Chains A and B, each alone.
Chain A
Amino acid sequence: MGHPEEASRFLANADRAKWHDQTLWMVRQKRDVATGFVSEWEELRSVASAIKEHTLSRLDDYLTEFESNALLNGIKVHWAENADEHNRIVLGILSRRKIDTLVKSKSILTEECHLNDFLQENGIEVIDTDLGERIVQFAKQPPSHIVMPAIHMKRGEISELFHEKLGTEKGNEDATYLTRAARKHLRDKFLKAKAALTGVNFAIAETGGFVVCTNEGNADMGVHLADVHIASMGIEKLIPRWEDLGVFTRILARSGTGQAITNYTSHFHKPRKGQELHLILVDNGRTKQLGREHFRSSLKCIRCGACMNTCPVYRRSGGFSYKSTVPGPIGSILSPGIDLKKYSSLPFASSLCGSCSDVCPVKINIHDQLYRWRQEIMQHNNGQVQGKIFSRMAGFLLASPFWYRVLSSMVTGISKVFPGALKNSFLVWGNQREFPPVPRQTFRDWFDQNAGKG
């Protein structure tokens, strides 16, 4: 099933869809308020975009600079070309130390690599320690949003889930009560875990260190107690200099949740005494995307989630309707680069309203790239020769004044004479909408009779 079918399913429950839309719209409003306090907001966006663009243009240089500085700091650096390599590196590190449990803070990259499944198949227990991620892990679901993984679930459902998994009181939906229960449960896991995995929000080439942003402090809790810290990062997470960091910490949380800054901004530069610190640099298709002229800038993304919150389609279709690790507008321009066929409906899951591009703190022209992917998809879709022939015909006919007239009058007289594809479109339009009333004369007729004279 493509996006339209999944979206229809989501919308079939009108109350929930409305709730989902309003919840995320509220986050967008918080973002508006938070960014409104920063008078130089637009300038910040431009600077952030320029830094990222520059970094991508010399990514190889910055990566090697970063690696050598990280090595000097005592970090063990690994390179993974794809998801499989990444997962094996993690498993290797754990096996060597005979570790069988891993606490993990939020990392969309490990979702992308399906690390949890892989480790569990290899006998390792993985505990997601971000509250939202723990919730979806209990529910055996992927995250539906990159910043708020369980945003699709109502409090009652979480209470039910916690009752089942953590033995909380049935029917107690009090948020404080539930988070306390989760905290207690996780504390126990933290104390026992020998290894902790974190994501990376920003890695700094100049210093060889990296920064992890969380709201719950769960990354620190894991890392500070464990003997082994593994950090996984996509190679696009680099920034050149220490002084660039402030630009990004100022835009990240404001864009994503409307906070001035995430509650925790944790800096890691070298292993603690007696601790092993591993950093895995993952490509997994990023170099390919870097080589695609029109889509390169999608790698500027700092995963703030703002484009999801603002997207009128995402809000009304839910994260799962995209069936890709990163949903929403940014997912719709990243995913086709991973599997064009599988994700071919995503670039069309947009009205091209452009709100994503205007909200994006690093100024990715998301809606332009959606348009561009549409061209790529139609050029590649060998299955649909019909569509291609039809479009050629339409292109030819619409360019000819004569045929344009004929076609137009057919449209106004509608359907009987029409080829299937068009007729279907008409029928779909008419499901819930009236057709425009057909006027007595067209503009052109009017012009000929009135203004055109003399």
Chain B
Amino acid sequence: MKIGLFIPCYIDQFYPRVGIATHQLLVKLGCDVHYVREQTCCGQPLANSGYEDSSRSCANRFINNFSDFDFTVTPSGSCAYHVRHHYDFIQQTSDVVHVRNSTLELTEFIVDVLKKPLPKVTFPHKVGLHSGCHGLRGLRLAAASETKESAFNKVEELLNAVDGLELVYPERLDECCGFGGTFSVKEEKVSVAMGNDRIHGFLEKDVAYITSADMSCLMHLDGLIRRQGLLVQVVHVAEILNESVYGAS
């Protein structure tokens, strides 16, 4: 099974540690992982801003880059969602259909495709789980609090297997963190208010870490946390599962 790794632009540039953790984790799980050096952006920032049309070449390149793989895996719920859900604006060739069907977010790939137990890891900390909205309501990585489906949570399933990790949720289980791509600057005030509320929801529960399967939410929360000097750290799920959280014992 050939796996193509898609590392979104902001992870490549700002959070290589998340890309590294994802790569290493997949290798540990016995996957044949490939990183296509020609990869760029999936086009989501443009499309969400209303410029779907201008993002056509990004989308086509994405398809070209990943059409030879059995699965395309990415540590970003939001990029996977964009490819799966929004790529209907390009012509639906068999390559496009294949890539759209086989692009998965990391945790769903592990839970739904690999279905393998993870290597034993320890993370003896109180961790708050933030469900990124595109992963939650777009990819259905978990049952959203609005729906009355029976409860499931793929990310939680993986974190539950980590030794010593105490998983908690904020009072408002899965409210949006307010990142939303360009929303974070177009609607700065609302975005910041949402982010601060989210962080305080976690602080109320006394967590040492906030984790998520989506690094973009965490980038936004981290920006607020560091500006205010708050005592909580953000960490991507892949880093915990790969036991490579920076500075953690």
Write out, one digit per residue, whether chain B residues 131-174 have a CB within 8 A of any chain A CB (1) or not (0). 00110111000001111110000000000000000000000100
- Does A348 reach chain B (CB closer than 8 Å)? yes
Contact of A317 among B51, B56, B190 (CB under 8 A): B190
Write out, one digit per residue, whether chain B residues 214-249 have a CB within 8 A of any chain A CB (1) or not (0). 000001101110110000000000000000000000
Contact B48 A446 (CB under 8 A): no
**A371–B88 alpha-carbon span in the complex (Å):** 13
**A392–B46 alpha-carbon span in the complex (Å):** 9
Q: Which of B16-24, B96-104, B121-129 lies on the face that meets chain A? A: B16-24
- Does A32 reach chain B (CB closer than 8 Å)? yes
Contact A7 B7 (CB under 8 A): no
- Does B186 reach chain A (CB closer than 8 Å)? yes
Contact of A349 among B137, B187, B223, B227 (CB under 8 A): B187
Interface residues of B in 45-94 (CB under 8 A from A): 46-58, 60-61, 86
Contact A35 B148 (CB under 8 A): yes
Q: Using known A-B contacts A358-B137, A395-B57, determine if residue A432 contacts B178 with beta carbons closer than 8 Å.
A: no
Whole-angstrom distance between the Cβ of B15 and the nearest chain A Cβ: 7
Write out, one digit per residue, whether chain A residues 291-314 have a CB within 8 A of any chain B CB (1) or not (0). 000000000000000000010110
Contact B187 A7 (CB under 8 A): yes
Contact A443 B191 (CB under 8 A): no
Contact B193 A41 (CB under 8 A): no
- Does B115 reach chain A (CB closer than 8 Å)? no
Contact A451 B222 (CB under 8 A): no
- Does B4 reach chain A (CB closer than 8 Å)? no
Write out, one digit per residue, whether chain A residues 10-33 have a CB within 8 A of any chain B CB (1) or not (0). 010000010001000100000010
- Does B106 reach chain A (CB closer than 8 Å)? no
Residues of the A chain whose Cβ atoms lie less than 8 Å from the Cβ of B189: 4, 7-8, 11
State the total of A-B contacts with C-beta under 8 angstroms. 220
Q: Using known A-B contacts A355-B176, A442-B16, A446-B16, determine if residue A408 contacts B9 with beta carbons closer than 8 Å.
A: yes
- Does A354 reach chain B (CB closer than 8 Å)? yes
Contact B223 A399 (CB under 8 A): no
Contact A378 B144 (CB under 8 A): no
Interface residues of B in 182-230 (CB under 8 A from A): 182-195, 197, 219-220, 222-224, 226-227
Residues of the B chain whose Cβ atoms lie less than 8 Å from the Cβ of A434: 222-223, 226-227
Contact B51 A316 (CB under 8 A): no
Q: Tell me the nearest residue of chain B to A436, going by C-beta.
A: B14
Dominant secondary structure at the A interface: helix
Contact B144 A399 (CB under 8 A): no
Contact of B40 among A21, A25, A316, A401 (CB under 8 A): A401
**A358–B142 alpha-carbon span in the complex (Å):** 13
Q: Using known A-B contacts A351-B176, A379-B53, determine if residue A432 contacts B12 with beta carbons closer than 8 Å.
A: no
Residues of the A chain whose Cβ atoms lie less than 8 Å from the Cβ of B222: 434, 436
Whole-angstrom distance between the Cβ of B44 and the nearest chain A Cβ: 10
Residues of the A chain whose Cβ atoms lie less than 8 Å from the Cβ of B19: 443, 446-447
Contact A439 B17 (CB under 8 A): yes
Most A Cβ at <10 Å: residue of B48, B49, B54, B145: B54
Q: Tell me the nearest residue of chain B to A429, going by C-beta.
A: B185
Contact A374 B50 (CB under 8 A): yes
Residues of the A chain whose Cβ atoms lie less than 8 Å from the Cβ of B37: 401, 444
Whole-angstrom distance between the Cβ of B31 and the nearest chain A Cβ: 12
Residues of the B chain whose Cβ atoms lie less than 8 Å from the Cβ of A452: 35
Contact of A399 among B60, B137, B176, B188 (CB under 8 A): B60
5 A-B pairs within 8 Å (CB atoms) are namely A4-B189, A316-B193, A398-B46, A441-B16, A451-B35
Instruction: Beyond A399-B41, A436-B10, list 4 extra A-B contacts (CB 8 Å).
Output: A312-B178, A348-B182, A367-B137, A398-B41
Using CB atoms and an 8 Å cutoff, list the residues of chain A in contact with chain B.
3-4, 7-8, 11, 17, 21, 25, 32, 35-36, 38-39, 41-42, 310, 312-313, 316-317, 348-355, 357-359, 367, 371, 374-379, 387-388, 391-392, 394-396, 398-401, 404, 408, 411-412, 424-425, 428-429, 431-439, 441-447, 451-452
What are the nearest 10 A-B pairs in CB distance? A351-B180, A433-B223, A378-B50, A395-B54, A443-B19, A399-B57, A374-B50, A353-B176, A354-B137, A391-B51
